[in-house]
A and B are shown apart, each in its own frame.
Chain A
Amino acid sequence: MKIGVVDYKAGNLKSVETALKYLKANFIISGNSRDLAGCGKIIFPGVGEALSAMNVLNKSGLAAFMKNSFASDIPILGICLGSQIVLDTSDENNAVCLGLVPGRAVRFTKTSGLKIPHMGWNQVEIIRDHYIFNGVPDNSSFYFVHSYYPAPQSSNDVVAVTEYGKTFSSVFTSRNLVAVQFHPEKSGETGLQMLLNFIKH
């Protein structure tokens, strides 16, 4: 099944591309919803700022494409910024986001000793079974780089949590969407395993 990687000009997709090539996935990278329409799965990556990302998504028609794909239960993997803007809003420049999952992206509060962005390897504690963690040990470490974290409204949506100054949802799900705040494409063999789980599911 072909995977469509959504390119909405938020950061560099090179590492997602090399990881998918390495895993021999059948994929295309495109910013055009007509090209992406034939894909059976969607990867929604992204690094950067929420408001400008939303502007690109709205102008290009990709926002409508994402909403339709979600409503028709196409499997979607959101990564990093792509895990935040599937929520209703982001505190980052008060962006109105895609609203696929109720909730918002919240900024880490600066407390003593806590550096922002949260950058580096941190552990992910699995709290609910999900295929994305098949073959991945509990409390494995993944690579994070972010200043805002996803806060889905319903705790039922939370799959895994991570501790950085506070406990936040590092993985959550709704229908056929699974959103991860860290970068599986930069998280070594465990990260590749997660991508493979998405490809094979």
Chain B
Amino acid sequence: MLQKRIIVCLDVKNGRTTKGIKFQNNIDIGDPVAMAELYYHQGVDELVFYDITASTEKRSIMIDVVRRVAEKIFIPFSVGGGIGSLQDMKQVIMAGAEKVSVNSLAVKKPEIITEGALHFGSQCIVVGMDVKKDADMESGYRIVIHGGRTPVDLDALSWAKEVERRGAGEIVLNSIDADGTKDGYELNLTRMISESVGIPVVASGGAGIPQHLIDVFKEGKADAALIASMVHLDGFTVGEIKKEIEKAGIPVRM
């Protein structure tokens, strides 16, 4: 039986892992390569690296991180942030990433999804969606970009269907409302999107305790769950989290 995936997300700035709230007050929490190795040995299923370095000239630092991670860990990982073109996608894939993730770029230039899928295969193309509750939208949720700061005229549900149609292989669904709260994932949103598309949906935003992951798998129908501060700062190990999930009767890789 296909197992639910636990994915650890690392925000990388100038070659260091950082943790901050909405891209502000970032604190240095370690070397991304050493952290990737640690989580790999704890049994994480996949990793995501988001490059939050502001300047494009420091792009090579991130590529170097990707290359060093690929030499040490033998599980899939994706890279997002700062992807502006097919050439950027190629660079991270050639450095050893399994997938590339696009977010704001996909909204501004949706054809990049199709072009990426044609060049590298759908399985390589992840679309990140930042979503905010909005009663004016048909599904009740609106797409926002630039880390949640800029609302756009896109309904979250119709956008999810569109990215699938354009060839995305996976959706990372981040709830801006739940992000940073540690109160749990937004279950209604996750279930609505996951049940409406035929590609895997990764839930993101709001995880604080292992029960939140159990909830998002059972009630949210997520295929995978993204975590960050739980393991970076709050002292949980991936192994402990997986044990809790397994105890709840959910198939995970032990």
Contacts and interface: CB of A to CB of B under 8 A. Distances in A.
Whether chain B is bound by chain A comes out as yes
A143 B75 contact: yes
B123 interface: yes
A187 B71 CA distance: 14
Interface in A115-166: 115-123, 141, 143, 145, 163-164
Interface in A11-57: 11-12, 14-15, 18-19, 21-22, 47-48
A185 B76 CA distance: 9
Contact of A185 (B2, B74, B170, B253): B74
B93 interface: yes
Interface of B: 1-3, 5, 40, 43, 45, 70-71, 74-76, 93-96, 98, 120-123, 169-170, 198-200, 223-224, 253
A13 B123 CA distance: 15
Contacts of B170: 119
A186 interface: yes
A188 B14 CA distance: 28
Given A18-B96, A120-B2, A121-B253, A191 B169 contact: no
Interface of A: 11-12, 14-15, 18-19, 21-22, 47-48, 110, 115-123, 141, 143, 145, 163-164, 185-189, 191-192
Contacts of B96: 14-15, 18
Contacts of B3: 120-123, 141
Contacts of A186: 74-76, 98
A189 B44 CA distance: 12
Given A21-B71, A120-B2, A121-B45, 10 more contacts: A11-B120, A15-B70, A18-B71, A22-B71, A47-B123, A115-B199, A116-B198, A119-B170, A187-B75, A191-B74
Given A14-B94, A191-B74, A110 B198 contact: yes
A15 B2 contact: no
Contacts, number: 78
A148 to B, nearest CB: 13
SS class, residues of chain A in contact with chain B: mixed
Contact of A119 (B1, B71, B169): B169
A188 B77 CA distance: 12
A123 B253 CA distance: 8
Nearest to B96: A14
B123 A119 contact: yes
Contacts of A11: 120-121
A122 to B, nearest CB: 5
Contacts of B123: 47, 117, 119, 145
Contact of B5 (A14, A120, A163, A192): A120
Nearest to A165: B2
Contacts of A19: 74
Contacts of B253: 121, 141
